[in-house]
Amino acid sequence: MFDFMLSGDQKLLRQEVRDFVRQVPKQLLMDMDEEKIQYPREYIESLAERNLIGLRFPKQLGGRGLSWTEEIIALEEVGILGTSLGCLFSLPSIIGEAIDKFGTSEQQEKYLKRIISGEITVAEGLTEPRGGSDFFGTTTKARREGDHYIIRGQKRFVVGAEGADLFLIYARTNEEVPAHKGISTFLVERGPDVKVEYLYGLMGTRGGGAGRVIFDDVKVPAENLVGQKDGAAGIFYQMMIPERLTSAAGALGMARAALEVAAKYSDRRKAFGQKIRKYEAVSFKVADSITKLDAARAIVHAAAQAVDNGAPAGVARRMVSEAKKFATDSAWEIVNHAMQIMGGIGYTNVYPIERLLRDIRLIMIWTGTNEIMDLIIQSEYYKEMGAAGPATRDVEADAVNADAVEEKVYE
């Protein structure tokens, strides 16, 4: 961690979270990975007891009024525990973003306050069986009937579904307009018409309650509409920030954990008469991992500061997408380096590397695949380039034959 970047209060927060992470039982991690535990509600309650849920939200709602910078500091530490527990830590921040930014004061009091206190748990329904990254292709529908909406459809790969009391759901509310103008956002309480199925045998990221949620003509009060009717696009774009920054920050923790395990091993393990860290094949992998981790941490912190400092929406969207892509890609490379350094023993459950590898693989897919991140990054860059005013210097002119306009053929 870059201690020189942190204030005194930020260091205290980091230590507070480290103390919490240190006391999380090893058996909880083992039982979740073996799916003996499908949803660790007591873990969320223990976070709430320490006022570690919803760090960014207003103090009057039970939060701490902190910034994104503080949240990613906390999340790197929680990320050491793996993807499931990191995600469950993040879900109140993700769902809370929609309620805090777009919800009514009544919704904030009724739901966000209780989420922060740990009284209720949450999950977000985005992906549907017919598609993953195609958010605007949603087939879940909501129709208005009097003072209620009736929601019918299903969502899958919903992390936290198994234990959630409240779901943030997107549904089509207007078939007469393009999809991006006809989707709305709802807060749906768990009830008899909300069916949760724990279906999936996951490669990793187990025990986080991932499942399918079926809404069978669920009756939802009209006051549970978040934001404006047909206005989900704006909420969805805002939600990119918490979904992707939390994924990026959690990846830092997992990558750091894998690197530390492998580096310690390389300083103990001997082969051909010396510690294996003395061989370039090993030490260069360690160096590459350190560099990637430091670079990933730098871009995650830069993205957090972009959001905290009110960067233009496009710039923030690009930076957050870069952070998610680079941090998760780097984490995947780092854990693979760790396994290679450790050799065969790294492939066993004698060390946690194989579990971290299984966990990290998912975060390159969820909250928008890293290929979707590429689309956003380049798209926002071209927009910025087109909107930019005169450069400080016309570098294109710095060529010997720059004035040979007849050679500059574009069509």
Reported as a single tens digit per residue, the pLDDT across 79-92 is 999 999 999 999 99
Q: How far is CA 170 from the centre of its chain?
A: 18
Burial class (CB in 10 A: 0-12, 13-18, 19+), 175: exposed
Whole-number Å distance between alpha carbons of 41 and 188: 19
Whole-number Å distance between alpha carbons of 248 and 390: 34
Reported as a single tens digit per residue, the pLDDT across 37-73 is 999 999 999 999 999 999 999 999 999 999 999 999 9
Reported as a single tens digit per residue, the pLDDT across 297-332 is 999 999 999 999 999 999 999 999 999 999 999 999
Dihedral through CA 94, CA 97, CA 102, CA 108, nearest 10? Answer: 100
Residue that wins the pLDDT comparison between 198 and 113: 113
Reported as a single tens digit per residue, the pLDDT across 190-222 is 999 999 987 678 899 999 999 999 999 999 999
Whole-number Å distance between alpha carbons of 215 and 210: 16
Whether the CB-CB separation of 299 and 251 falls below 8 Å is answered with no
Question: What are the angstrom distances between the C-alpha of 302 and each of 23, 299, 311, 318, 322?
Answer: 30, 5, 11, 11, 10
Strand bridging mode 274-275 / 141-145: unpaired
User: In the chain, pLDDT over 70 holds for what percent of residues?
Assistant: 98
Question: What are the angstrom distances between the C-alpha of 252 and each of 134, 240, 268, 301, 407?
Answer: 27, 18, 25, 11, 48
Reported as type and span, the H/E element at residue 142 is: strand 141-145
Kindly list the structural domains of the chain, giving each domain's residue range(s) and its CATH number in brackets, ordered by start.
Answer: 3-121 (1.10.540.10), 124-229 (2.40.110.10), 233-387 (1.20.140.10)
pLDDT at 133: 65
Dihedral through CA 155, CA 159, CA 164, CA 166, nearest 10? Answer: -50
Mean pLDDT, residues 236-263 taken together: 95
pLDDT at 132: 63
Whether the CB-CB separation of 196 and 212 falls below 8 Å is answered with yes
If pLDDT is split at 50, 70 and 90, which confidence band does 388 have? confident
Picking from 172, 168, 187, the residue whose alpha carbon sits closest to that of residue 231 is: 172
Whole-number Å distance between alpha carbons of 373 and 328: 11
If pLDDT is split at 50, 70 and 90, which confidence band does 182 have? very high
Whole-number Å distance between alpha carbons of 234 and 44: 29
Q: Hey, how many other C-beta atoms are within 10 angstroms of the C-beta on 405?
A: 8
What stretches of 55-127 adopt beta strand conformation (E)?
122-125
Whole-number Å distance between alpha carbons of 206 and 33: 5
Whole-number Å distance between alpha carbons of 196 and 213: 5
pLDDT over 70 at 402, yes or no: yes
Arithmetic mean of pLDDT over the chain: 93
Reported as a single tens digit per residue, the pLDDT across 120-170 is 999 999 888 876 667 777 889 999 999 999 999 999 889 999 999 999 999
pLDDT over 70 at 1, yes or no: no
Mean pLDDT, residues 12-31 taken together: 97
In terms of phi and psi (left: phi > 0; alpha: psi -120 to 50; beta: otherwise), the region of 160 is left
Reported as a single tens digit per residue, the pLDDT across 166-176 is 999 999 999 88
Mean pLDDT, residues 237-262 taken together: 95
What is the pTM assigned to this prediction? Answer: 0.92
If pLDDT is split at 50, 70 and 90, which confidence band does 238 have? very high
Mean pLDDT, residues 343-371 taken together: 94
